[in-house]
Amino acid sequence: MAITKILIVEDEEILANNLRLHLQRCGWDVCLAHSGRAAIAAADEFCPEVVLLDYHLSDMTGFDVLDAIRAADHCCGCVLMTGHPPETVMADAQRRRIAPILSKPFSLAGLVDQLTAAVKLCAASIEARATGLPRQPCRAPQCGGSPTAVAAFSM
């Protein structure tokens, strides 16, 4: 089985690097992007199964990033991180079917649990692509109904 790919989009470099190291130790393939534009470009090449996305970036919002990534038919799941009160971003997150929202600071164990859940929710779509079945949209809340562009799943 292939290793699950996680794209971390976080403009705070120390936090991003710490998250990357922890997730790599958990066995995931991780790509970092420190801006929205870099995230959109990285998604084209890296094809993540899940995006761990900061809400407030230096060049655009996390929602703008996710909209662009999904428009390009990349990424099934999304876990949103924010230092803002969750109710501030809740309506836009619900419209994009993003769940959960992790409030900074959060525990690494809680993060791993949420990423694992996001990957598992998208497994049916990923497995369907791997077996050559017609592409099915992911039904997970995080997916917004977008089909995934990845053909392998592991956990």
CATH number reported for the structural domain that contains residue 73 in this entry: 3.40.50.2300
What is the per-residue pLDDT for 155? 23
Asked whether residue 149 is domain-assigned, the answer is: no
Low-confidence ranges of the chain (pLDDT < 70): 1-2, 74-75, 123-130, 132-155
pLDDT on residue 129: 63
The answer to whether residue 76 sits within a structural domain is yes
- In a domain, residue 72? The reply is yes
Does some domain include residue 41?
yes
Contact 145, 97 (CB under 8 A): yes
Amino acid in the structure at residue 39 = A
Residue at 63 is within a domain? yes
Q: Give domain status of residue 155, yes or no.
A: no
Domain that holds residue 86: 5-143
What is the C-alpha separation between 130 and 62, in angstroms, rounded? Answer: 29
User: How far apart, in Å, are the Cα atoms of 20 and each of 68, 108, 133?
Assistant: 23, 11, 33
User: Which residue shows structure tokens 């699950």?
Assistant: 4
